[in-house]
């Protein structure tokens, strides 16, 4: 029921966005950056409370502010959300989130990783999109991964996905061919990360036997 409601809500937002696309394009093309600070705050809020899909917002930031500044805005939002979830799950509502983590089907993959190296576990959890970000937030908190390890791995690990979101948004409206090349390159990167993680797990398992 909740999933269908979220899908319906997102469809309505897309329809509203399509109807008001001319206003949106005018805002994107406006070079005024006086509200840039607000965009950083909005990025954090939407990453914590995804009223609209963060990917859409991140793509718009790439179009509006360019690749590097858009990446910085999206990275700030993703990192702020990651820190917020971690602190809440660890120190405020740990019992609730311990139950919540069991609802994520892919979280067992982190179990294999964390036994060998918690930094690598969080880093790969960020890089591999099959693991939902909230699962990584919560799992890290309730399993006692140190905040510094979590913060460093997260700060590094969210750069590639935030980059491709900003890059995709930026190139989609300027060079569609380069956009496709970037998506293809990112897919190759993801495959490489997945293959590395599987090799690393098997290697660690053999060494521990």
Judged against a pLDDT cut of 50, whether residue 95 lies above it is answered with yes
Residue 208 has pLDDT above 50, yes or no: yes
Q: Determine the pLDDT at residue 77.
A: 92
pLDDT band at 74 (very low <50, low <70, confident <90, very high): very high
Over residues 6-57, the pLDDT tens digits come to 556 556 666 666 566 666 666 666 766 777 888 899 899 988 887 777 888 8
pLDDT the model gives residue 1: 44
Q: Is 195 exposed, middle or buried (0-12, 13-18, 19+ CB in 10 A)?
A: exposed
Domain ranges of the chain: 31-208
Q: Are 37 and 69 in contact (CB under 8 A)?
A: no
pTM: 0.76
Q: What is the rounded CA–CA span in Å between residue 162 and residue 171?
A: 14
User: CA–CA separation, 115 vs 112, rounded Å?
Assistant: 6
């Amino acid at each position: 029921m909740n999933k269908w409601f979220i899908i319906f809500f997102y469809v309505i937002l897309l329809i509203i966005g399509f109807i008001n696309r001319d206003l949106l394009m005018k805002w994107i093309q406006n070079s005024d950056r006086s509200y840039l600070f607000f965009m950083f705050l909005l990025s954090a809020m939407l990453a914590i409370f995804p009223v609209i899909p963060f990917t859409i917002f991140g793509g718009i930031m790439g179009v509006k502010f360019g690749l590097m500044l858009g990446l910085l805005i999206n990275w700030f939002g993703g990192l702020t959300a990651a820190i917020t979830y971690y602190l809440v799950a660890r120190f405020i509502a740990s019992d609730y989130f311990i139950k919540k983590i069991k609802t994520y089907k892919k979280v067992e993959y982190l179990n294999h990783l964390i036994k060998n190296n918690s930094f690598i576990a969080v880093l790969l959890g960020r890089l591999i999109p099959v693991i939902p970000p909230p699962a990584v937030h919560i799992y890290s908190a309730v399993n006692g991964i140190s905040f510094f390890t979590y913060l460093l791995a997260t700060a590094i690990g969210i750069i590639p996905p935030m980059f491709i979101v900003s890059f995709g948004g930026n190139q989609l409206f300027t060079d569609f061919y380069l956009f496709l090349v970037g998506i293809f390159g990112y897919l190759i990167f993801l495959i490489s990360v997945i293959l590395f993680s599987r090799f690393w797990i098997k290697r660690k398992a053999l060494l521990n036997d």
